[in-house]
Structure 1
Amino acid sequence: MNVPYFVRKVLFIAGVASISACLQIFADYFIYWRPDLLEQFWRLWTAHWVHVGWIHYLLNMFAFACFPFIFPHVRIWQLAALLLVLPVCISLSFYYAFPDIEAYAGLSGVLHGAYVAVALVHLSYAHERKFAAGVLGLIVLKLIWENTIGNTSTAELIGSPVLIEAHLLGALWGMLLAAVYFPFHLQLLKPKS
């Protein structure tokens, strides 16, 4: 049976949201907690799948659910790869570059990285270039805003400070992963003779 791609996208989104919701119930065992990070290595990944509360969860799941529909060329395997690689990259960056960060929870850093990576790759599609450039421009403006003025309204909404380092690290890792993937992407775009 051939399941339509739209249905597979919806099932993938539902699966990710369900896993994240299940982890949310026992969030204390899954957050980024620096003192236990290397002994409880799963936290490298799961920290980005749990949230500081259900409003935080809903905001991130909404941003995630929109993702595969606003970038029509992204494949589920590509998105899954980003969801597996970016959390570990960001967590290790916290550990080695930001030793003052003791605790973290949330998908927003991963979302920043995924949006940047996919938007950069979508620049190669002529009919989507303007949209992808617009997404990248908005992310850059958001990062500048957060690093200069701050993000108090989101912090008030979720009931916790926003760790803007996660957003910046996510965007940087997204750029790096897009650069690594791009040569393979170009091979996929070449017409077959």
Structure 2
Amino acid sequence: MKDQVWISKVILIAICISISACLQVFADHFIYWRPSLLTEFWRLWTAHWVHVGWIHFLLNMMAFACLPFIFPHVRNWHLCALLLVLPPFISFIFYFYLPYIDAYAGLSGVLHGLYTAVGVVYLQYKNERKFAILVLALIAVKLLWENTFGQTGTAQLIGSPVLTEAHLIGAIGGLLCGLGYLLIKKIKIRTS
């Protein structure tokens, strides 16, 4: 049974990486492009799966591939639900509250949300609580650093400016998702 869980996680990762790589070939048709966002609704999701280049793609895919193995209790349906909710959450925040963002591509905002959501949910596991606190603290420090001093090293590596707003919005979305999941779970336990 445990082997099946690991195999299903590897399959999910492989599917996501393959989809992202395919979208990367025609990135201009899938990026967040503000003037077309509401008429080409797929960009709400696809913008987060295309990247400004292949180095950017590889960095984000490595971070994505590590998540289910760093947090072994996370289930595929949790990841799929987050992958459906976080991209449009970030895109709509860009559209309605950050109108100066005309174009965006990359999974990093969603990754911040994924790691935050899973870290919050992991707080319920006594044996993993310290690790979850460490991950959440590192995310908080990273966000504080980026929003105070900026992000130049990664920008040079990927050859494009880093939109740190995406990281912050993704982390907020992940926090809301993680807390929402725990609240729903608590309500289910009380009504059982």
Same fold at TM > 0.5: yes
Q: What residue ranges of structure 2 are gaps of 5+ in the alignment?
A: none
Distance between the aligned counterparts of 2:61 and 2:156, measured in 1? 18
Matching of residues 48-59 of structure 1 within 5 Å: 48-59=48-59
* Equivalent AA in structure 1 for residue 141 of structure 2: L
TM-score calculated relative to the size of structure 2: 0.95
Distance between the aligned counterparts of 2:141 and 2:112, measured in 1? 12
Q: What residue ranges of structure 1 are gaps of 5+ in the alignment?
A: none
Distance between the aligned counterparts of 1:3 and 1:130, measured in 2? 26
Match of 2:106 in 1: 106
TM-score calculated relative to the size of structure 1: 0.95
Distance between the aligned counterparts of 1:66 and 1:21, measured in 2? 17
* Equivalent AA in structure 1 for residue 67 of structure 2: F
1:127 is the counterpart of 2:127 = yes
Match of 1:9 in 2: 9
Match of 1:181 in 2: 181
Give me the identity figure in percent.
65
Deviations 1:61-113 (A, max 9, x none): 00000000111110000001101110000000000010000000000000000
SS of the residue corresponding to residue 28 of structure 1 reads helix
Distance between the aligned counterparts of 2:40 and 2:29, measured in 1? 9
SS of the residue corresponding to residue 38 of structure 2 reads coil
Match of 2:23 in 1: 23
Deviation at 1:183, TM superposition (A): 2.3
Distance between the aligned counterparts of 1:174 and 1:10, measured in 2? 22
* Equivalent AA in structure 2 for residue 163 of structure 1: L
Match of 2:155 in 1: 155
CA RMSD of aligned residues (A): 1.7
* Equivalent AA in structure 2 for residue 92 of structure 1: F
Count residues in correspondence: 190
Match of 1:32 in 2: 32
Match of 2:89 in 1: 89
